[in-house]
Structure 1
Amino acid sequence: MSINVDTPPVTERKRALARTQGLPWVLFIVMLAIAAWLGYRAFWPKGGGDPIGTTIVAFEKQNRLTVFSAQLAPVVSAEDSRLLGLVKSRQVAVIPARVDYSLDLSKMDRNRLAWNTSTHTLDVLLPPLTVGTPNLDEARAQYLREGVWITRDAQDALSRANTRLAEQQATQQAGNPVLVGLARSAAKDAIRQNLAIPLEIAGFGDVTVNARFEGEPAPAK
């Protein structure tokens, strides 16, 4: 009967071979763990269980949010005089315009947010509403011209003058308290909708979002 006994050098070689063969699996497991961690960091709300952090992430993805658009129709007129006043012309124009009202969400930070854990309520202090530059749709403009003889130069001058006047008038109309009030209400509704869903998905349940602008009274506790 013979008994095979590994000598110490042979045993060490086998152990080294086992470590070498197992190394790729160890590296695979490590890489899988790193990938899982990176995926968690990429897709899970920053701040983990912090509703304020989740809210700020939602705002960062929006940056600027258009909350309301007003369709306006300025009616303007301009006059032109040439040849020492002997040739006069006049043009009345109706130029449709759109004005957008938006929120600059890049200004939102933790100082504008307050979370009530017991009532699951988030209070949001909104930045000032931004009224955009009127976007004139001159392709749909309507013109009425008066004059015995309207030269090409006179017509171009009248159109430029009416465009300038229409933009000024649209800007004034956009500041109408009724339109601004509608835009502010739309902004609050948009913020409530844009925050309630991310907070619910993040696991905070049925959340109440109170949004208000500076100068408006805070909601009653």
Structure 2
Amino acid sequence: MMYYITLVATDDAGKKKIYEAKIWVKEWEDFKKVIEFKLFIGDDVPILGGIINVQGINSLVFQDLARFAVQDHNKKEKAHLEFVEVLNVKEQVVAGMMYYITLAATDAGKKKIYEAKIWVKEWEDFKKVVEFKLVGDDSAKTGGIIIIPFPISFEFQDLARFAVQDYNKKENAHLEFVEVLNVKEQVVAGMMYYITLVATDAGYKKIYKTKIWVKEWENFKEVQEFKQIVYATK
């Protein structure tokens, strides 16, 4: 595994700064090596928390934030987008909260997918659209694949179990889920999750990769791919 860790440390002058470390680990060899260590951003910066997925994306709070972002874009660009729905929400602790909202809106009647980055400081009644960009239409693979910083959440455990059960049903197999190793995600019409997991096959641990398409607003889940990549140990 290659781990990309963002951390806070103080320098010789006592100033808090943010660094990025790239660490290569091979647990079966008790091997650890720092590949890279660099200053990410200096002191007095707002970005301090990890980006995490938000549940309950159809709440009125996120609907209102998405509409606010669309209206802000229309005003700045003299556009005529019409908000349709929220597809995905992530949040990050900053000086307040930074929300990363993937939303659908129509442009001249055609549904397209946009990403909005909105900075909120509730105690100041402050909202600001930091970024608003088109990422694609409602059918294509639109977003870049990104690594999830906290892959052991219940959400990804459940998705991994779902993939194992789906494989067992289709292949008449008897895999037993053990753990999630890594998760990546991609914004599509919904979300595509790329999960690396461990499962036992007749008592032997093996490592698999699975690709799962999720559209929460339709209660839709589909395993697109499930394959073994590493034969491990008993």
TM-score range relative to shorter protein: under 0.3
TM-score, structure 1 length as denominator?
0.22
If asked which structure has higher relative contact order (CA below 8 Å, sep 6+), I would say 1
Higher fraction of strand: 2
Larger Rg: 1
